[in-house]
Chain A
């Protein structure tokens, strides 16, 4: 198999080690997770639209990974020369793959604060139009001090109500930049929801990435956002799925999927209502509700960032 696009940090790892030996961890229609001998996660994708940190896009659009001869444990080698691997291994040639930089792009020319407010309204409109609201939206709507303008008919199921107080407290602690209490409370939120990246993990991921970009927009000390994010994830990573835990680690340093990165940069840098709507529409297509939940995290970040007690 040939790779067409590869995350730059993964490419440099292959450059250094020549080959990367992995085993299949889990297989889905549009993605296949691999795990390296150092217990790192790599994801194979079938479309470069959805590329994200530590992933590789395989040539041939619409490959269905479930139809390939792979099972959990199958050995897959990534490299530039196929003779580096053992015969029985599947080989992915990354030689011609173009590189994609997953690092946050913080050197942007941003729009005015007035325009940013308009862009947030566009984001709200996009979410209201295309968002697949599940239980994260009612949680976000319950945030009284965040001026949330979502139109969601979903009502939080009674069985999920126990999370409501924790959620609002979590946002309060973020606003207070309270690093003493954030880790323990976040531990009680991470891993909540159905799926491989539980809904609240997606939300927290979006929130953390937005804080990195927004601290740069408002010329706050970006390190403060990094510190806050490391506090958020410091205790909860073992309580969630492996895939989600990797996602949260990347998000805490501002690394996210191309679609989310594009959305955030459009919000911060462009005065184009339709473009924002288009970016929201693209991003909500991630997973079942993952895209929407992550955007809800980004949205909440945009709504609360000016209240967070960062050093200016």
Chain B
């Protein structure tokens, strides 16, 4: 190792510059250890401890700047290269560089100072402090994505009114998904660019629709989030309406999709009135909403998130629009797959346990199973009588939203850390009456780097446990994501399939497949 030293007498740099220099020089492949700083007694002692000292360093005064580094002997002129790199960093600090992108400001003011031309602030703070930052962002002319929950209703209304008056978006609170100008924000997927614009009050609902639009061969212009409370009476759908208006005016958007749980009636009316006034085709998925009311406005109503995606893609491509209710695979192949599974179950096995990380996907699963006549117990039940007495213990047919506040207070969301689901799966496999496990695997930005890999050992263990008791555990899964997502969709798929997980191409199809199994099991 060569000791490389650069000394600048009576020279001063600010601490941000020194931090950047330290980080960047450390990254050089031939640099082993480095100290950057002023020649204070303590910094000299540190250099000495690390054998990064010599007589020159020892003679420094506290007002001298120094860099001392160990560089590989094989690197020719390492010292010169380090000095050049330092100079380059110091000279480029006023320009936008990769290094600057790594700077993570800890307050809004610091962030704004760092990136003066920013036009969007993503705020993820405990709810009680988030509104202040959002107000500040709006005051500075920035659109806001408010990831935080626990922001009061009054604050939400106030912020959205400010946003509306200033012509700025206020996505949230509790907004987890958006794609703005083709940039995925928070939990979002890498999807094809296109002419379909979405306004969504549901995070995983929006993810599912964008992902499936991509699979149907169409693309997204914008996906604007509103937060789950936006369509309630008190908020009045302020951001759904503003987002809708923006997409109506957006020349890049040809087809509009609105996704939310059924809005308050007066809010639904306002939105559907707007639908009837625009020339652009609008697909409305008020999950479980009144089909007749939606269609009377001229919008296309949907029976599932997949159906919404299909209809939007068909409209975008000029194809015939119909209800997408079946399977991608031919029905007889699906029936064959059902038969193959059926022979493996034991006599008492009859229940499904759906363990979801995405709330809207769980909600959709319950609605589709409800239509098939099944009563589903849950922590977010469709009917109050099916609320689980103890959310930690499933009853008969159960669907759990593991991302709900019931499970996430003080813990990361299961899309980030699936440990809660791993434990729950272990528990479900103890119940000999369980036949089917249904799970979503949400990939994309924000999600765990390997959701399939995290669940895999427990899936294998659960299946083995059932097998040891002469039973069979059918695991049905759905990967919500695209091949362009950072997790490697193909690898995720292969991992799950190798463990015997039956994968379906959408949440709706995964649920429908389970419903077919349940029908046979309950005969």
User: Are B106 and A196 in touch, CB under 8 angstroms?
Assistant: no
Contact with B along A112-124 (1 / 0, CB 8 A): 0000000000000
A129 partner, pick from B12, B13, B19, B129, beta carbons under 8 A: B129
A28–B50 CA distance with the chains assembled, in angstroms: 30
- B106 near A284 with CB under 8 A, answer yes
Q: Is residue A96 within 8 Å, beta carbon to beta carbon, of the partner chain?
A: no
* Min CB gap B125→A, angstroms: 7
Which chain B residues border A274 with CB–CB below 8 Å?
128-129, 132
B62 with A242: CB separation less than 8 A: yes
**Separation of A159 and B14 alpha carbons in the complex (Å):** 23
Stretch of A1-9, A174-182, A184-192, A210-218 on the interface side = A184-192
Is B109 a contact of A285 with CB atoms below 8 Å?
yes
- The CA-CA distance from A196 to B128 in the complex, in Å, is 35
A25 to B12, CA, bound (A): 9
Question: Range of interface residues on chain A?
Answer: 35 or more
Interface pair B15/A289, CB less than 8 Å apart: yes
Contacts of A242 in B (CB 8 A): 62-63
Q: Are B110 and A196 in contact (CB under 8 A)?
A: no
Contact A277 B62 (CB under 8 A): no
* Cross-chain contact of A159 among B38, B40, B50, B132 (Cβ < 8 A): B50
Given A132-B106, A195-B15, A285-B107 in contact, is the A188-B37 Cβ separation under 8 Å?
A: no
- Residue among A191, A196, A290 making CB contact with B43, cutoff 8 Å: A191
> Once bound together, how far apart are the Cα atoms of A210 and B522, in whole Å?
72
A233 CB → nearest B CB, Å: 14
Task: Establish whether residues A195 and B106, one from each chain, have CB atoms under 8 Å apart when the complex forms.
Answer: no
Whole-angstrom CA separation of A288 from B37 in the bound complex: 14
- Asked if B126 and A129 sit within 8 Å, CB to CB, the answer is yes
Checking A162, A191, A278 against B40 with a beta-carbon cut-off of 8 angstroms, the contacting residue is A191
Residues of B within 8 A of A289 (CB): 15
Cβ-defined contact, A190 with B42, below 8 A: yes
- Contact status A191-B63, CB under 8 Å: no
Q: Is A19 an interface residue (CB 8 A)?
A: no
Question: Contact: B106 with A191, CB < 8 Å?
Answer: no
B79 at interface by CB-CB < 8 Å:
no
Q: CA of A26 to CA of B12 in the docked complex: distance in angstroms?
A: 6
Q: Is A193 an interface residue (CB 8 A)?
A: yes
Chain A CB within 8 A of B36 CB = yes
Q: Which of B49, B110, B126 has the most CB of A within 10 A?
A: B110
Q: Any chain A CB within 8 A of the CB of B10?
A: yes
Cβ of B41 within 8 Å of any chain A Cβ, yes or no, is yes
Cα-based distance from A160 to B50 in the complex (angstroms): 10
- Could you say which interface size class chain B belongs to? 20 to 34
Q: Does B336 belong to the interface (CB within 8 Å)?
A: no
Is A72 an interface residue, CB under 8 A from the partner?
A: yes
> With A159-B50, A196-B15 known to touch, is A240 a contact of B37 (CB < 8 Å)?
no
Judge whether A287 is part of the interface by a CB distance below 8 angstroms. Answer: yes
Cross-chain contact of B106 among A26, A130, A197 (Cβ < 8 A)? A130
Contacts of A132 in B (CB 8 A): 106
CB under 8 Å from chain B, chain A span 18-49:
25-26, 28-29, 33
CB of B274 closer than 8 Å to a CB of A: no
Given the interface contacts A130-B106, A159-B50, A285-B110, does A198 sit within 8 Å of B14 by beta carbon?
no
Query: With A159-B46, A239-B42, A242-B62 in contact, do A193 and B107 touch (Cβ < 8 Å)?
Result: no
List residues 44-77 of chain B with CB under 8 A from any CB of chain A: 45-46, 49-50, 62-63
Whether a CB of chain B sits under 8 angstroms from the CB of A194 is yes
Determine whether the beta carbon of B37 is less than 8 Å from that of A194: yes
Residues of A within 8 A of B129 (CB): 129, 274, 277
Q: A130-B106, A194-B36 are in contact. Are A240 and B15 (CB under 8 A)?
A: no
Known: A245-B62, A277-B129, A288-B19. 14 other contacts (CB 8 A): A33-B12, A72-B10, A130-B107, A159-B49, A188-B42, A194-B22, A195-B37, A198-B37, A198-B40, A241-B38, A241-B62, A242-B62, A242-B63, A284-B107
26 inter-chain pairs at a CB distance below 8 angstroms, sorted by A residue, are: A25-B12, A29-B14, A129-B125, A159-B50, A162-B45, A162-B46, A162-B49, A191-B62, A192-B42, A192-B43, A192-B46, A194-B15, A194-B37, A195-B15, A198-B38, A200-B42, A239-B41, A241-B12, A241-B40, A242-B63, A243-B12, A244-B62, A245-B62, A278-B132, A288-B14, A288-B16
The 7 closest A-B pairs by CB, nearest first: A191-B40, A195-B15, A239-B41, A192-B42, A288-B15, A26-B12, A191-B42
Chain B interface residues toward A at CB < 8 A: 10, 12-16, 18-19, 22, 36-38, 40-43, 45-46, 49-50, 62-63, 106-107, 109-110, 125-126, 128-129, 132
